[in-house]
Amino acid sequence: MHSQKSFSQACENNKAPILAHLKKHLVGKCKVLEIGSGTGQHVSFFAQHFVDIVWQPTDVIENHPSIKAWVADANCHNVLPPACFFIGQDEWHFNNVDAVYSANTAHIMQPEEAQLLMQTVAKNLPQGGVFCQYGPFKINGEFTSDSNYEFDLSLRQRGYGGIRSLEELTTWAQGLTLSHNYFMPANNQLLIWHKGE
């Protein structure tokens, strides 16, 4: 294993179930912006299955070595070097992006950052663009499992924003329509938002 690789067991567990749905929703897309690439496990895995799509990973700079190591080991030639893109700090500086993917970011962000995430994606996606958003979410303000309730408590105790509700996200994502909500392993969901469809 590459010495600079970080590893997430959750990423390893959920990448195949997520891929199964992405195969339906990224058809015909040219460039995917991943917001919050983390270890790099997702982008290096998905890029191998979508060789005609250019992938742009983003994260804070301390995560870039791991992202680069995963991509290098996967021998992906359709992944751009990781960029810094921190919601609320960095401006959107990406061209020709027609899809956005983000996993397990909204509950880490503060509420105002999660709001800005939704607004930023809604503003910058072109007509026909798609936003694939993975993570735990509340429905009608209710947790979907006891474990998510416990997870939310631990998140807030550690200073994170906590699990967001679909209703909040929908309000914030003006211009985006939630077309699919897939229930995923480990009490997560995969939300598929479309712009202008």
Helix axes 64-74, 41-49, angle to 10 degrees: 30
What pLDDT digit, counting tens, does each position of 50-102 carry?
A: 999 999 999 999 999 999 999 999 999 999 999 999 999 999 999 999 999 99
List the one residue out of 57, 99, 63, 103 whose CA is nearest residue 80.
57
Determine contact, residues 99/26, Cβ cutoff 8 Å.
yes
Give the DSSP letter of residue 76: -
pLDDT of 112 above 60 = yes
One of 1.10.3720.10, 1.20.1740.10, 3.40.50.300, 3.40.50.150 is the CATH number of 9-195, namely: 3.40.50.150
In whole angstroms, give the CA distance from residue 57 to residue 40. 8
Task: For the chain, give every domain's residue range.
Answer: 9-195
- pTM of model > 0.75: yes
In whole angstroms, give the CA distance from residue 86 to residue 75. 27
Residue 179 sits at φ, ψ, to 5 deg, of: -95, -30
